[in-house]
Amino acid sequence: MSEKFKKVVQMFNDGEWDETLQPHFETIENFLNIIDNAGLTEMIDPFSYDLEDVQNEILYNLLQTPKKQEILNKITEKYLSDISIENGKIMCDFRSMSDLSEFFDSGRSRDYDYEAIVKKQIDGDYVDYFFGDTTDNIYRDVIEELNPENLNYLKDLILKELNGTQVELDGRSSDWMEEEAQRQGHEEYIIIDNSNIDNVLKDEDTMLWLLDNDLNDINSELYRIHESAYESAYSSEVYNNFVNEINEYFVWNNKDEYKYGDKYRFKIEVRPSTFEYVIEDYLYNHIGYSENLGYHGNFESLFRTYLKEGDGLLIFRIPDYPDSREVDKMVNEYFGDYL
């Protein structure tokens, strides 16, 4: 019986499935099960040129057996030129990090060109988000959000501009300014100094009036700070959303840009579940087709095909506006850079 089956396996390796063997075994899955029970699976060469037409089906079925890891290793060695195993991790090699953008939807049927956004985020290019005026109240959105260090810095700036000078009042002056002028003994103006600067900063109407008048330069910079903080917080959220999406398939924390000759390349870890599922999915969905894994030649192309033929290229949430807590954080980070 063993010799007979050896001859059958040899016939299979020689590409005689359709003409000779299929009428007896019906399906390749059934054939492989019988050969496995006979202990002759090792004789089958799924990478034989004569088996190209049924290779996808053979490999898919072999991946359902205990030989799975061995078959994956052979597939990697033979077809996936951009995959290497480093310290037990599956690493995928790219020309540059921005090549990851090709896994994202170009926006032809959606609201956003995710591919372009990701490429700009990775390359560090400015993403043109236009928000117009990012605040209609600079006091509440900037001054009230300052940490103690920046608040003291702002006090020093105001005193540098106004300390000991007469600030002329008008009909739009705040109630506190009117009361302070009377307390100081002159209704036409007030004098701002160390004794009342804390009260100045605590009163929104007073600060807004001063910013519109005697502190116009500071006012302009505060608006610039908020605009930059707003855009930075928004861009950061977009970036994090992109990273979270790619992190479903790759390990973002295990990536590296390295020098190759006189150029730089990029590699990133592929999650084992992603690696195995993408290969199995391709083989299963291409049973009966001539495009085997060698048609792609690398995991990068294979993964993109998996996305396109499945649920579609990747997308992620693009927020309407940034998280206010992140804006406040950025305001404090940028404060000393602008003023």
Q: Single out the residue of 110, 203, 92 nearest to residue 158, CA to CA.
A: 203
CB half-sphere exposure, 214, CA atoms < 13 A: 22
Tokens of 308: 């396109």
Helix (H, G, I), strand (E, B) or coil at 212: helix
For residues 126 and 179, give the distance between their C-alpha atoms in angstroms, rounded to a whole number: 48
- Within a 10 A sphere around the Cβ of 181, how many other Cβ atoms? 19
- Within a 10 A sphere around the Cβ of 256, how many other Cβ atoms? 12
Calculate Rg over the CA atoms of the chain: 34
User: What string of pLDDT tens digits covers the 339 residues of the chain?
Assistant: 467 778 887 887 777 777 788 777 878 888 888 877 777 777 788 888 888 888 999 999 999 888 899 999 999 999 999 999 999 999 999 999 999 999 999 977 678 899 999 998 888 775 566 677 899 999 999 999 999 999 999 999 999 999 999 999 998 999 999 999 999 999 899 999 999 999 999 999 999 999 999 999 999 999 999 999 998 999 899 999 999 999 999 999 999 988 888 888 999 999 999 999 999 999 999 998 888 999 999 999 999 999 999 989 999 999 988 999 999 999 999 998 888
Query: Would you list the DSSP string of 71-93?
Result: HHHHHHHHH-TTEEEETTEEEEE
| 255 DSSP 8-state letter | E
**pTM for the model:** 0.82
Q: Could you tell me which residues come within 8 angstroms of residue 153 by beta carbon, excluding any fewer than 6 positions away?
A: 335, 336, 339
Helix (H, G, I), strand (E, B) or coil at 87: coil
For residues 110 and 116, give the distance between their C-alpha atoms in angstroms, rounded to a whole number: 13
Tokens of 232: 């930075």
Cα–Cα separations (whole angstroms), residue 221 to 144, 147, 153, 208, 311 = 16, 17, 14, 14, 47
Helix (H, G, I), strand (E, B) or coil at 166: strand
For residues 40 and 305, give the distance between their C-alpha atoms in angstroms, rounded to a whole number: 34
Expressed in angstroms, the distance from the first to the final Cα of the chain is: 89
For residues 137 and 118, give the distance between their C-alpha atoms in angstroms, rounded to a whole number: 32
